[in-house]
Structure 1
Amino acid sequence: MKQLTSYLKQIPWLTSFRTAFLSNPNRLLSVKATFVIGLLIIIMVSFGLPFYAVTLGLGALAGALSETDDHPKGRLKSLALKVVSFAIASFSVELLQPYPVILGIGLSLSTIVFILIGGVSERFRGVTFGALLVGIYTMIGTQISPNWYLQPILLTSGAFIYGTFSYILLRIKPYSLLEEQLARGFAALSLYFNEKSKLFPSTKGEEKEIRTKLALLNVQTVEALDRCKEVLNSYGDSLKDQTPLKPYFYYFMVLQSLHERATSSHERYDLLSENSSNKDLIGGIRQLLKEISTATQRFGNSLLTGMPYKHPTAADWLIKAVSNSVKNNDLNPSLPIKLLIQNLSQSHYILKNIKENYNNISLPKLEKETRSYYQIFKLQLNIDHPKMRYALKLSLAFLISYATYKYFNIEKGEWIVLTVLLVLQPSYSETRKFLLQRILGTLAGVVSGIVIIKLFTFYGQIALMIASAYLFFFWLKRKYSISVIYVTFFVMCAFNIIANKGVDAMGPRLVDTVLGAFISFLVVRFLWPNWQYKKLPSLLSEAVLKNSAYLKAILNEYEKPLTDDLDYRIARREAHRADNALVKAWQNMQLDPKKHQKLKVTAFRLTYLNHALLSYLSALGAHRAQNNKQTLNILSFENHILKTLEEAFNWLTIEDNSQISHIEDDLEELRQLLHSKKEKAVRIEYSLLFNITEVTQRILKQAQLFKLAEGENANK
């Protein structure tokens, strides 16, 4: 066996295919789910049981969609919860079918309970979503089920079979979840580094456009970091001997460090580009960022494929060339460019030696949820809580959908309810995005599917159904509208296999999809639509508060560097989460109705400025390890900066606008203090602090305009 494996590894095209396949996590999930679904369908069809085939396949589909990223022990608990909740949901629907009024009310009330339970933890969220999905699948299949008890048994069995298969694979390779999540984090960071390389050189206009893209890419990176943390905590809580986790904890810490260095800014990039003393270095920095981007992507791929990591040789050459250029440059490049090169050199060194250093570290502490499940659940029992509002909206939409379907006796009307589950989101803008993608995807799937399915024989349709399952999972997290096309193919083939009515069912499916989307739109439009501009004041004040905490943590590190920097990492992560919330609000605002987009320009400026402020703070944090007080000279200005940020937060959270002039005076005093250094070289040492001050002042000016505009809108 070993000889065969060794021989296969020597075949170039086979090695290339294996590497390309394994380097995409979406392919791994797709193959796992498709294998189980395909196996169940083929076995049942071969026994002449098409209804069993499709229903088991749907159960496996629901099981895959509701799967959570847990340590094997946690995955086993999740599977047990899933089987119980799926069985309860499906049996309840079957038993209440003769009593539509009770079923409608039960569906509505159970939805509230499921959503609130799902809000307690990620594990429960997956299980409760799957339970709602299985309940609706049961409604869809009731009319064609030979016996009332068959669907609950088959749907639950399909989910159990998939869960068992997935659990066995996880046992065979128990750390694959950690490797996958870390790989996603390094891939997201690679995109960030690559986009940032475009800043060298850049004009002021180009810088603004690129910074906006970087803010959006930062959302993906921070979310990937959060998922890595949750999976690491899951493993850490389940293992007594945590020695095997050492490399993964180390890679996570490296990922966080690289992210801080990637997001840091030492100066406005247009000014760095215009400075003649930096001219010879700009091109080298651009190429070096590209090589670091390549390195992060390569390391992520090595985690997925098991292939040895090879650091780009060009990065070594570039580091030497850029460093020598700094030493031999008669024009004496500015301090910000020197600090930037120092930052990139450290990133290069970390990646180059990433496989060698993890044995020398102790396991770091990670942020954990300290509240009990009961405390989190109780917190949601408030009409103003976002999760409660979402539960009520979804519950009402289900009730309207089910009542419409029953009252008008709509053919295949259960799909109206299914559409509501899949498109209705907590806010108007998010719902609108999913709604359009769902309708367009279904329309494209119906039109193309009717043409394609006529070309296939019975067994060809089985093959198409299995292929559609694979493509559905592959595109699900990449582009929702495309995934909808393939799930439409899947459904069409399923109905053809059961009763040769796949094409006939597509007309009602399209109508029901439009009806479900319309009901979702009405509910989310008139019941707590959650307009983005209304969230901006609280989001901005939260961002300023978290930036202040981040700066305090940085200053603490400069004064007394700690061996365990948990508090620092928490403060940094919270600042990035607050920044991401601002970015998402601005992004989602563009989907709100025009009359609620009046402050879109201000929202963009606030988003841009806050991300710029966070990047300057990140630069301070990235250099904290050197503890170079003489170079950065920040401690003497600690009180001025913190006082300004705290007063800014207080001003944003109260109605009294008189305090703004006092804050502006403090900022101006700080600007003058920084400018008072007469020697140009010394002033440059304060460039980071100057930029932090300037950006804070600009944020306050935009916030002031926002408050005025908000007041005018309220008066109207």
Structure 2
Amino acid sequence: MSTSLKQQIFSWQKSLTHYFLTSPDRLRAIKVTIAIGVLTAPFVLLGESFFAITLALGALAGALSETDDHPKGRMKSLALKVICFAISSLSVELLRPYPILLGCGLFASTIAFVLIGSLGERYRGVTFGAQLIGLYTMLTITLSPAWYWQPILLPAGALFYGLFSLYLLYLNPWRALDEHLARGFGALATYLEVKAGLFPSDKNKQGEIRNQLALLNVQVVGALDGCKEVLNSYGDSIDDKTVLQPYMRYFMLLQNLHERAASSHERYDLLSSDQANRVLLEGIGHTLLQYSHACKKFAESLLAGKTYIHPISLGWMVDALNDQLKKHDIAPDQPVAMIVRNLSRSHLSLQNLHEDSQRLLTPKLRKDNRSLMLRAKELLDWQSPRLHHAFRLGLCFLVGFTISEIFALAKGEWIILTTLFVCQPTYSATRQRLYQRILGTILGVVGGVLIIQILPTIQGQLLLLLVSTYAFSLWQLRNYSVSVMFITIFVLCAFNLLAGKGSSSIMLPRLIDTLIGSALAIISVRLLWPNWQYKRLPALIAEAISKNTSYFQAILEEYLQSTGEDDLPYRIARREAHRADNALVRAWQDMQFEPRNRQQFRQQAFTLTYLNHALLAYISAFGVHRDQHTALSPEIAHLANDIVGELQKTSLSITTGKTLGNTRIINILKQIRHSIRGSSQPIPKQQFTSLYNIADVTEQLLKLANGFTSRRE
């Protein structure tokens, strides 16, 4: 083999490795495809399609129920999964001749599985997979040569996939941490890219961009929560905690960068209205784009296992901004200067990341230390939305099974399988899944039938099955409709290989059963214990304002702490404030998909949601400077405590439904304005400016809360 050919092959291998390593979705998809290919190809080519497809379904269930965990945790999860899969499949085989018992078993086991899965991520994976295995057993029970084959083959397929996944994890034990951190930095990069559109700010587009940022913030905070859970999992499974220090450092960096990115030092439309700021604001916008690019590069370096190289262009942009500040003689207490300082610190944090690699950094992370008994007790409260969802899903399974039995529908089990994926805890999520499921199924049936005609051979259909497996796994978390289309093609190929009639006898039943299952899901969530968002909004708004208040108080306490103390209470307060804000944003978003007569307080809810997110941004701006340990003057501390009192009053007003006065906050605003004009020291003046923005939003919140409670009365 010539040297040039070897170099070309090596180059291809390197490109292919980089292609999969830098995308968790692609890596997961190829992993599932290889596992199913190894299981199916030999049996299909030997003419034993039943064994091939049953093993493939077991592997697919194992992949769909896989959770991120330390290798030790995954081994325990895999052992539990294989046992539960075998019990689930065996139960269906033994009860299938007795439809009444099987229907009752479906109802009871579904409720139990949903509730047990709510106890933790590991339990969720096992119980969801057990539900899938039970339904897969029902789908292919008539094709099984003997009653014992499916309880053996389905868990065996899951076991094979689990061992294959564990082997790959053994080659890189820290891959789960790398992926979660990369997902966090990637989400932050998208957030920064959108926020760059605010510099300079177009007043007509500002509201739209703010709404986008609120939705993107949900993804960033979700990624942070995922990182924390995986870090805790690894921390519980290893003795030498020092090996986690680099990941803890990256996690803390991500939190700090997110806080700075989420902060707002001033209303951007006011800054943009001053022509003197125009050049600086455009520079800030370009710098944010460079900053976004740096976060993407860092995420890619984590996935590829390479050393992060900080972009030189970001340093140039930051230096240019600081030069502009000096050129125009802009005081350090001005909002534009504070934004530039924020960007400068973020740039330095990324640039000097590896220089701090020897620094001992072992901050504590919050854990859910509640016992399983206590968590189960909370779930069994009849007011628990999760318990309502468990009963809804159980009833859907029971009704779907009854319809299938009474009308003797061909493959009526697809009704139940459809409800499993379509029926969600909320009406809006179910409605979105319904449209996506129906669209994906129609496209998959039409496309699958056409392709099967082109590839009539067994080898061609096997190839199509593997391609659809890869595409389904790739799109599963990206676009549900596309993933459904490919899993439908997978099903058509599977049954065509099993019985030689996938395109003729499976097409119409698949469509009919999907429609029936989707209808059951939307009817159940519409009529059975509907959890309309307008009923939740008062409590969510009050909770969000309360958590923002706690976050503000934690910041004030941080200013009093000495350097080096663990800021766990502060980080908990900050995360809870973001979670409460995200819950409010999601509720507002969900309301848009609910029936119009269930969208009460729609405008008030939107405004309160918008203002609460603005309040969180201004509080974050006050918090990003806490690590400078600048002492708070008595005047600032007094005003800050007064604002805390007004925020508490606002939360109380919404909680109790009683209208309260708002004259005190107006006086606070007057005092802050007077202090800003009278202060000659830069740092207190900067703090006064942040306090003014917080107090101003608090005043607006209190006024709207009074109007909101008046309407409720």
Q: Quickly name the TM-score band, shorter chain normalised.
A: over 0.9
Q: Which deviates further from its counterpart, 645-654 or 585-594?
A: 645-654
Whether the 8 Å CA contact 1:462–1:493 is kept in 2: the answer is: yes
Q: Which deviates further from its counterpart, 125-134 or 352-361?
A: 352-361
Whether the 8 Å CA contact 1:633–1:685 is kept in 2: the answer is: no
Whether the 8 Å CA contact 1:277–1:331 is kept in 2: the answer is: no
Shift of 1:655: 3.3
Equivalent position of 2:670 in the other structure: 672
SS at match of 1:370: coil
CA distance in 1, matches of 2:34, 2:477: 19
Deviations 1:38-71 (A, max 9, x none): 1101021133210000010000000000001110
Identity level (%): 49
Shift of 1:629: 3.8
Give the counterpart of 1:707 among 688, 703, 709: 709
Shift of 1:201: 0.3
Q: 1:377 to 1:685 in 2, by over 3 A?
A: closer
Equivalence map 1:5-154=2 (5 Å): 15-154=14-153
CA RMSD of aligned residues (A): 1.8
CA distance in 2, matches of 1:68, 1:305: 21
Q: What code does the residue aligned with 1:559 have? A: L
Shift of 1:330: 4.1
CA distance in 2, matches of 1:159, 1:632: 64
Deviations 1:565-612 (A, max 9, x none): 001000000000000000100111111011112432222212211111
CA distance in 2, matches of 1:590, 1:405: 34
CA distance in 2, matches of 1:87, 1:198: 54
1:637 and 2:636 matched:
no
Q: What code does the residue aligned with 1:567 have? A: P
Equivalent position of 2:323 in the other structure: 324
Give the counterpart of 2:654 among 652, 655, 660: 652
1:476 and 2:470 matched:
no
Q: Which deviates further from its counterpart, 478-487 or 632-641?
A: 632-641
Normalising by structure 1, what TM-score? 0.95
SS at match of 1:60: helix
Deviations 1:519-541 (A, max 9, x none): 11111100112111111001001
Unaligned runs of 5+ in 2: none
Q: What code does the residue aligned with 2:557 have? A: N
Equivalence map 1:608-647=2 (5 Å): 608-629=610-631, 634-647=636-649
Shift of 1:331: 5.9
SS at match of 1:147: coil
Equivalent position of 2:561 in the other structure: 560
Whether the 8 Å CA contact 2:657–2:710 is kept in 1: the answer is: no
Shift of 1:12: 5.5
Shift of 1:689: 1.1
Q: What code does the residue aligned with 1:643 have? A: G
CA distance in 2, matches of 1:33, 1:14: 20
Q: 1:283 to 1:13 in 2, by over 3 A?
A: farther
SS at match of 1:411: coil
Q: Which deviates further from its counterpart, 304-313 or 156-165?
A: 304-313
Deviations 1:279-317 (A, max 9, x none): 231111111111110011100000101122121111111
Q: 1:13 to 1:151 in 2, by over 3 A?
A: closer
Equivalent position of 1:516 in the other structure: 517
SS at match of 2:368: coil
CA distance in 1, matches of 2:601, 2:11: 56
Equivalent position of 1:488 in the other structure: 488
Equivalent position of 1:353 in the other structure: 352
CA distance in 2, matches of 1:23, 1:332: 43
Deviations 1:66-89 (A, max 9, x none): 001110110011001101111111
SS at match of 1:429: helix
CA distance in 1, matches of 2:179, 2:643: 40
Q: What code does the residue aligned with 2:648 have? A: E
CA distance in 2, matches of 1:213, 1:171: 39
Q: 1:132 to 1:565 in 2, by over 3 A?
A: same
Whether the 8 Å CA contact 1:469–1:487 is kept in 2: the answer is: yes
CA distance in 2, matches of 1:678, 1:700: 23
Q: Which deviates further from its counterpart, 156-165 or 636-645?
A: 636-645
Q: Which deviates further from its counterpart, 162-171 or 325-334?
A: 325-334
CA distance in 2, matches of 1:16, 1:633: 61
Shift of 1:276: 3.3
CA distance in 2, matches of 1:684, 1:618: 14
Deviations 1:145-188 (A, max 9, x none): 11111111111100011011111111121100000100000000
Equivalent position of 1:424 in the other structure: 423
Q: What code does the residue aligned with 1:339 have? A: M
CA distance in 1, matches of 2:225, 2:427: 25
Equivalent position of 1:532 in the other structure: 533
Equivalent position of 2:313 in the other structure: 314
Shift of 1:324: 1.2
Shift of 1:687: 2.1
Q: Which deviates further from its counterpart, 133-142 or 272-281?
A: 272-281
Equivalent position of 1:714 in the other structure: none
Equivalence map 1:357-368=2 (5 Å): 357-368=356-367
Q: 1:269 to 1:160 in 2, by over 3 A?
A: same
Equivalent position of 2:270 in the other structure: 271
Equivalent position of 2:549 in the other structure: 548
Equivalence map 1:349-498=2 (5 Å): 349-456=348-455, 457-498=457-498
Whether the 8 Å CA contact 1:78–1:123 is kept in 2: the answer is: yes
SS at match of 2:675: coil
Deviations 1:104-142 (A, max 9, x none): 001101111111111110100111011011101111111
Whether the 8 Å CA contact 2:657–2:712 is kept in 1: the answer is: no
Q: 1:58 to 1:10 in 2, by over 3 A?
A: closer
Q: 1:15 to 1:238 in 2, by over 3 A?
A: same
Whether the 8 Å CA contact 1:79–1:163 is kept in 2: the answer is: yes
Whether the 8 Å CA contact 2:577–2:616 is kept in 1: the answer is: yes
CA distance in 1, matches of 2:351, 2:15: 23
Deviations 1:436-468 (A, max 9, x none): 100110011111211111000221110010010
Shift of 1:644: 0.7
Unaligned runs of 5+ in 1: 712-716
CA distance in 1, matches of 2:588, 2:16: 41
Whether the 8 Å CA contact 1:19–1:305 is kept in 2: the answer is: yes
Give the counterpart of 1:591 among 574, 590, 593: 593
CA distance in 2, matches of 1:678, 1:470: 61
Equivalent position of 1:216 in the other structure: 215
Q: How many residues align?
A: 702
Q: 1:437 to 1:418 in 2, by over 3 A?
A: same
Shift of 1:708: 3.5
SS at match of 1:437: helix
Normalising by structure 2, what TM-score? 0.96
SS at match of 1:367: coil
Shift of 1:709: 3.6
Q: 1:303 to 1:631 in 2, by over 3 A?
A: farther
Shift of 1:332: 5.1
SS at match of 2:260: helix
